[in-house]
Amino acid sequence: MDNQRLLVWAAFGMLAFMTYQAWLQDYAPAPEAVAPATAAPLTTDQGTADALPGLPSASDEAGVPTLPADQTTASRPAEAAAAAGEVIRVRTDVFEIEINTAGGRIQRAALNNYPVAKDNPDVLIELLSTEELRFATLQSGLIADAGEGEQYFNAVLTASAREYELNGSDELVVPMAWENEQGVRVEKTFRFTRGNYQIDVEHRVINNSAEDWRAAPYTTLKRLSIVHERSMFNVDTYSFDGPIIFDGAKSEKLDRDDLLEGPYRIDASNGWAGAIQHHFLSVVVPTDEAPHRYDVSVNNQLSTTSVFGPTTTIAAGAEHAFNTVLFVGPKLQNQLEQIDPSLKLTVDYGILTLLSNPLFWLLSKIFDLVGNWGVAIILVTVLIKMAFYKLTEKSGRSMAKMREIQPRMKALQDRYKDDKQALSQAMMELYKREKVNPAAGCLPILIQMPFFLSFYWVLLESVEMRQAPFALWITDLSSRDPYFILPIIMGAAMLMQQRLNPAPADPVQAKVMQIMPIVFTGFFAFFPSGLVLYWVTNTLLSIAQQWYVNKVVAEEQKTKKGKHQSKKKGD
């Protein structure tokens, strides 16, 4: 088996795989971007096990309830969001929040620690917004007995203040309330915690009326559904952007094209639903284990994800609390896992999740010690190299022996240049006599490939790496090197590594191997600099290891040759 040919094909196979992924992102057929326009009225299933009086059952497809006009995009998203109610402003250490008293809708959520661009820190990522081009809101409430003439989800709540700030406390509570003429009072409370993107929402029903009151909780996330142009030169466009749902067993990302054909509806326990936006997530997590109805649809330019809970009867004189957890923020895995371990599925590492998860865990543990993600990448690369040292040492020794016997291989090629069968047989005998495995040199690159791809997805998907600095000119490990210095260093290191290995006997393969560092340099120039840092570190370690192995093997060959000559003289 030709070792160099395998190396070439393995390297080009990896490049082809990465190129194919980038090509799919850039040129795969996708629906055209939809400009904001008038949306048709949105309808959703009520989604409870037993229907409320005046409301159809979940199976009654002909008469599903329609949410009020102020919950749809009446003419333009921004106009609809501000149509009714007053705005309450909430400030924490991580959030700038706006809550509309119309239903207690969260209509803006800006992330204080996450600017859109590192060089413009005042423009923050907004996961919820009333602005037309990034419209998104989170509405939660109770669907109450329609026979009363007023449903709670269409009500305007009262609040004692218009501004709330966390200041020195660890928790901030924002209370709101609504009460009908019969004496049913609903106290809606938002609870924010320092340093956390979790928002706890409670609806406490105090039934001071003379009759039972029935209600079902619901939460609806509405987002403008626009297909963004994807490019391999912009890491923010690589990942999936859209609805995601978890049915208690597995998660599923819902494609816009499929939703245009019809809504996606399931009943599930221990589930959740939300929307991914690359490094960021907006998600609704019911706190109880009762079955909930999950409904995801796309209506013109509007994507709607709704979670409906089961109906509860609150007896006259009694009270009951409905609780829901919202998460609106970066996909910080430690915070997501505290809410629900399955939320880590929103960090999509693809087919190499089993390898990427422990890699990220190891990276994060080392980061906790050193405080720099670039240094953590270097140290993890060193640990990987140490873990596979014995295996790569064997392949390195084989490569070194191949280098030592190259003159004899060249002599055989000259002797049997007109007889390929005899040349093949002579070469095999030489390999056997010298205990050389020509295929062993393929192991290093075959071992590196899955780690390379895993690192690629970890750097691409982990928000912890977003805009993370390393040193000097590398100020963002998740984006390309602005001056292409790391890719050039990598190309030079690969060229040096080639010189330590035996040159291919085939002139065509030799030329291909010579241009490989140039091809890799050009290809890696647009990869995240953290990934290039990994590859540079790995290549430099490989050079050091191969240099040492070559030196040891050369000494062994020299000693062996000396013993052979001494034996000859003795004879």
Q: What are phi and psi of 471, to 5 degrees?
A: -165, 155
Question: Which residue from 333, 301, 358 is spatially nearest to 42, judged by alpha carbons?
Answer: 301
Tell me which residue of 42, 81, 44 sits closest to 60, measured CA to CA.
Answer: 44
Which pLDDT value is given to residue 136?
92
Predicted local confidence at residue 240, as pLDDT: 78
Question: Whole-angstrom Cα distance, residue 338 to residue 340?
Answer: 6
Going along the chain from its start, the domains and CATH numbers come out as 3-19+357-565 (no CATH), 31-348 (2.70.98.90)
Among 110, 91, 256, CA closest to 161: 91
Taking the C-alpha atoms of residue 128 and residue 43, their distance in angstroms, rounded to an integer, is 21
- Record the tokens describing residue 564, joined without a space: 């052979």
Tokens of 200: 């706890």
Contact 319/231 with Cβ under 8 angstroms? no
Cα separation, 251 vs 246, whole angstroms: 4
Q: What is the dihedral of CA 239, 243, 244, 247, to 10 degrees?
A: -170
CB neighbourhood size of 168 (10 A): 6
Q: Give the C-alpha separation, 227 to 134, whole Å.
A: 12
| Coil, strand or helix at 191 | strand
- How many helical (H) and strand (E) elements, i.e. helices and strands, does the chain have? 13, 19
Helical (H) or strand (E) element with 179: strand 171-179
**Backbone dihedral angles phi then psi of residue 218, each to the nearest 5 degrees:** -145, 155
What is the rounded distance in angstroms from the CA atom of residue 239 to the CA atom of residue 229? Answer: 12
Q: Are the CB atoms for 363 and 458 separated by under 8 Å?
A: yes
Alpha helices, DSSP H, located in 371-477: 373-387, 389-404, 406-415, 420-434, 443-461
CA distances from 480 to 101, 464, 474 (A): 44, 16, 9
Question: What is this structure's pTM?
Answer: 0.76
What does the DSSP 8-state code read for residue 23? H
Residue 63: partners with Cβ closer than 8 Å, 6 or more residues away: 56
Angle at 462 between CA 119 and CA 540, to 5 degrees: 85
The tens place of each residue's pLDDT in the chain, 571 residues long, gives 344 444 444 455 555 545 444 444 434 443 333 333 222 222 333 333 333 333 333 333 323 333 443 443 333 444 444 456 899 999 999 999 999 999 899 999 999 999 988 888 888 999 999 988 889 999 999 988 644 434 667 688 999 999 999 988 899 999 999 988 889 999 999 999 999 999 999 999 999 999 899 999 999 999 988 665 555 545 555 577 889 999 988 888 888 888 888 899 999 999 999 999 888 999 999 998 889 999 999 887 889 999 999 999 999 999 999 999 999 999 999 999 999 999 988 888 878 888 888 889 999 999 999 999 999 999 998 998 888 777 776 666 666 666 667 677 777 777 777 777 877 787 777 777 776 666 655 666 677 678 778 877 887 888 888 888 898 899 888 888 888 998 999 888 888 887 776 655 556 666 767 777 888 888 888 888 888 898 899 889 888 887 887 777 677 666 666 665 566 565 5
Tokens of residue 145, six digits: 């007995």
The label of the residue with tokens 């326990």 reads 269
User: Residue type at 416?
Assistant: Y
Judge whether 111 and 94 are in contact, CB under 8 Å: yes
C-alpha to C-alpha distances, 199 to 5, 130, 174, 529, nearest whole angstrom? 56, 19, 11, 34
The pLDDT of residue 370: 94
Tokens 């040349």 sit on residue: 423
pLDDT of the residue at 230? 52
DSSP string across 135-166: -EEEEEEEEE-GGGS--GGGPBPB-S-SEEE-
Structure token digits, residue 497? 């590594």
- β-strand pairing of 163-165 with 87-91: parallel
Q: What's residue 62's pLDDT?
A: 29
Q: Quick: pLDDT tens for 511-557.
A: 767 777 888 888 888 888 888 898 899 889 888 887 887 777 677 66
Residue 155 and residue 290: Cα distance in Å, rounded?
Answer: 26
- CA 248/CA 273 separation, integer angstroms: 11
Q: What is the pLDDT of residue 173?
A: 95
Tell me, rounded to whole angstroms, the distance of Cα 189 from its chain centroid: 31
Query: pLDDT value at position 193?
Result: 95
Q: Tokens 């009714």 sit at which residue?
A: 84
Q: What share of the chain is helix, strand, coil (3-state, %, to 5)?
A: 45, 25, 30
